[in-house]
Amino acid sequence: QIDYTGTEPSSPCNKCLNVSWDSTPPCTCIINFTLEHSFESNVFMYYGLSNFYQNHRRYVKSRDDSQLNGDNGSLLNPSKECEPYRTNEDKPIAPCGAIANSMFNDTLELYRIDNGTEISITLIKKGIAWWTDKNVKFRNPTGDGNNLTALFQGTTKPVNWPKAVYMLDVEPDNNGFINEDFIVWMRTAALPTFRKLYRLIERKNNLQPTLQAGKYFLNITYNYPVHSFDGRKRMILSTISWMGGKNPFLGIAYITVGSICFFLGVVLLIIHHKYGNRNTSADIPN
């Protein structure tokens, strides 16, 4: 995990601490780090946020699923649940709501340093969203042709976004409402400290690890402000094995609950053995 919030004066990202959503030019910073061990299989890059309450009731409701599913009527007349991010300058916002308006928009680039040479690590931006979200829940508006600029005509971008939803990517199958970064963000987290999948790093050569041990640096375009609510940001690199990801929470939870159940079972067995047959010979009253 690499924390790049920048609250520490010695942090390279301290200069970006009070950045705004649409700072021009954007603030950039570089974090150097070392991988002590190689990552052998496919690697997952996440961004993590802390003290960000995506589980707030009004925040969770602040969206229009019909609009996100490509309904042309909802595109121009969003749900009132999106207030106060329903319209801007008398134009409907697409996508509307507080969830979309607060979308994470930092850009993270990973480089390896090999004998003084900077080698860019290929980050894959597709395949990070759930299949059902990408192919069922999220759809672009329909109309004549596939020109998203024309299909989103008459709408405006969310207040905090630097560009419109139809400019999120140059590839048509990853643009508009079906942009996978957007889809991942729209699946709200249950806890105030969470992480969301940002990119994939695929293993290309079975003879070499995906990420070799050594020196790396993270090139960050710092756009997302968190200092105002005492939040923190971090980049996480993780991998999986045949047993799944390296996350001890479920294992600890299962062992704890299982131990409690076993202990209670022993206690109840002793109670039943000691006191269960005490009244077996007593007369049953009429």
pLDDT digits over 179-228, tens only? 999 999 999 999 999 999 999 999 888 778 899 999 999 999 999 999 88
Q: Which residues contact 151 (CB under 8 A, 6 or more apart)?
A: 140, 141, 142, 143, 166, 176
Q: Give the range among 18-22, 78-82, 102-106, 243-247 with minimum mean pLDDT.
A: 243-247
Whole-number pLDDT of residue 283: 55
User: Could you tell me whether strands 194-201 and 43-50 are parallel, antiparallel, or unpaired per DSSP bridges?
Assistant: antiparallel
Residue 279 has pLDDT above 60, yes or no: no
Task: Give me the chain's average pLDDT, please.
Answer: 90
Whole-number pLDDT of residue 240: 74
**Residue bearing the bigger pLDDT, 68 or 243:** 68
**Residue bearing the bigger pLDDT, 50 or 116:** 50
Average pLDDT over residues 256-277: 92
pLDDT of 8-66, one tens digit each?
999 999 999 888 777 778 899 999 999 999 998 899 999 999 999 999 999 999 999 99
Whole-number pLDDT of residue 143: 80
pLDDT of 69-87, one tens digit each?
999 999 999 999 999 999 9
CA torsion angle for 72, 76, 77, 79 (degrees, to 10)?
Answer: 80
User: In the sheet that 214-222 helps form, which strands lie side by side, from edge to edge?
Assistant: 27-35, 214-222, 107-114, 117-120
Whole-number pLDDT of residue 147: 87
Whole-number pLDDT of residue 251: 82
Which residue ranges make up each domain of the chain?
Answer: 2-239
274 pLDDT band, cuts 50/70/90, is: confident
Q: Which residues on neighbouring strands pair with residue 2, listed in sequence order?
A: 235
Whole-number pLDDT of residue 246: 63
116 pLDDT band, cuts 50/70/90, is: confident
Whole-number pLDDT of residue 34: 94
| Rounded (5°) CA angle 105-55-66 | 70
Average pLDDT over residues 108-126: 93
The tokens of 2 are what? 């690499």
